[in-house]
Chains A and B, each alone.
Chain A
Amino acid sequence: MHEWALAEAILTTAAQIAEKERLKEVTEVTIRIGELQDVEPEILKFALGEIKSDLFKNAKFRLLKAKTELKCRVCGTIWRFKRESLDAATAEAIHFVPEAAHTFVKCPKCGSPDFEIASGRGVWLDSIQGVK
């Protein structure tokens, strides 16, 4: 499960911020999960719980889903990515590396693979809260 690797990245980053902000304890971590990568929230949450350090012992992990919006660079069409339209192998490739979408997803209007992932790509650390 590569959610574990992402959980480690989130905790490493949150710990760096906590140190910079001189937080003795982190109480809440808010994470945004892009629909495109389709990270499994339950696995991510479980991994966060398993590998967290004492700094996060009472932390609540809030996972928010972010919709994926794609914007065609050729005709300007903006559309919502729909995972349900993909076969399992393609969905898995995009889960591993979201940029694989440029191979398998096309603009619904002009058919171009040249689109921008305007929002909802992968995993982002939204905010952390804690006590000084």
Chain B
Amino acid sequence: MIDPRVNVIDSRLANVKRIIVVSSGKGGVGKSMVATTLALILKDEGYKVGLFDLDFTSPSTHVILNAPVTVPQEDKGIVPVSVKGLKYMSMVYFVGENPAPLRGVDVSNALIELLAVTQWGELDFLIIDMPPGIGDVILDLLRLIKRAEFLIVTTSSLLAFETVKKQVALLCELKASIIGLVENMKQASNINNSIEIEARNVGLRFLGEIVFDSTVETSFGDEVKLLGTSVGRMLKRVVEKDLLVKS
């Protein structure tokens, strides 16, 4: 018996120009905030943007967007929900706020299902928010979406960067495209540039640092406030300097 779903994924994403995967070796570094804000900035620039939360067991982009609780519509597949001008898909639409205790095989199956049946249509950018680490989801993405471009997030912690190094080594070994590294939640008092130096030592492009901003959580659900945070301001520079030059 053959699982037919994987064979339709390429055609499902055929009209998506670029797929940017926001990823890290460590949890809690702000991937979801970076992914969501990046999607909103690109939309604000006039691009058609999708946001896909692939953190099935701990999704959080819906909290940042304050996405309404609804059931996606069906039209020859599942239609992403329109949230703040983004085409948005998350596991929360199927499990609500309940826990989704999934083992690796189940995560892979859910990922393949959603890639096979979600009708993204025409997009300039699909932004993917990843779970942490180098487990099933990143391996499946590398297998199923060869043209994914990775944007790596770390904090100033050398422990976080240690896990980033492993992820970068894997991505390089598998010849994946890496846009670069963002250092998130850096304390304003921290003048040390050890992450930038470490990044350069492993051949990783350092895109810049985001200073810790205590207003981030009070900005959830408010697009203007989100774009005005230190995350929004720094990512706007990344979009202009590092992302759009490739378009």
Give chain A's interface residues, CB within 8 Å of chain B: 1-2, 4-6, 8-10, 12-14, 16-17, 32, 47, 89, 92-93, 96-100, 102-104, 113-114, 117, 121-126
* A97-B11 contact in complex given A2-B78, A4-B77, A113-B101, C-beta closer than 8 Å: no
- Extra pairs beyond A47-B76, A102-B106, A104-B95 (14, CB < 8 Å): A2-B74, A5-B116, A5-B117, A6-B117, A9-B116, A96-B72, A96-B93, A97-B94, A97-B114, A99-B56, A100-B95, A103-B96, A113-B99, A117-B106
> Is B66 at the interface (CB under 8 A from chain A)?
no
Contacts of B91 in A (CB 8 A): 97, 100
* A6-B4 contact in complex given A92-B71, A97-B94, C-beta closer than 8 Å: yes
Question: Which of A99, A104, A117, A121 has its CB near the most chain B CB atoms (within 10 A)?
Answer: A99
Task: For chain B, give the interface size range.
Answer: 35 or more
> Is B241 at the interface (CB under 8 A from chain A)?
no
**B72 — nearest CB in chain A belongs to which residue?**
A96
* A96-B7 contact in complex given A5-B116, A125-B2, C-beta closer than 8 Å: no
The 4 closest A-B pairs by CB, nearest first: A5-B77, A4-B76, A13-B4, A9-B8
Contacts of B246 in A (CB 8 A): none
Contacts of B109 in A (CB 8 A): 98-99, 121-122
> Is B44 at the interface (CB under 8 A from chain A)?
no
A36 to chain B, nearest CB (A): 11
> Is B163 at the interface (CB under 8 A from chain A)?
no
A120 to chain B, nearest CB (A): 12
> Is B190 at the interface (CB under 8 A from chain A)?
no
Let me know if B101 and A2 touch, CB within 8 A: no
Let me know if A99 and B113 touch, CB within 8 A: yes
* A99-B7 contact in complex given A1-B76, A5-B116, A125-B2, C-beta closer than 8 Å: no
A17 to B3, CA, bound (A): 12
Contacts of B11 in A (CB 8 A): 8, 12
* A103-B72 contact in complex given A6-B5, A121-B109, C-beta closer than 8 Å: no
Question: Which of B56, B72, B109, B119 has its CB near the most chain A CB atoms (within 10 A)?
Answer: B109
Contacts of A10 in B (CB 8 A): 4
**B57 — nearest CB in chain A belongs to which residue?**
A102
Residue in contact with B77 in the complex, picked from A2, A92, A97, CB distance below 8 Å: A2
**A8 — nearest CB in chain B belongs to which residue?**
B8
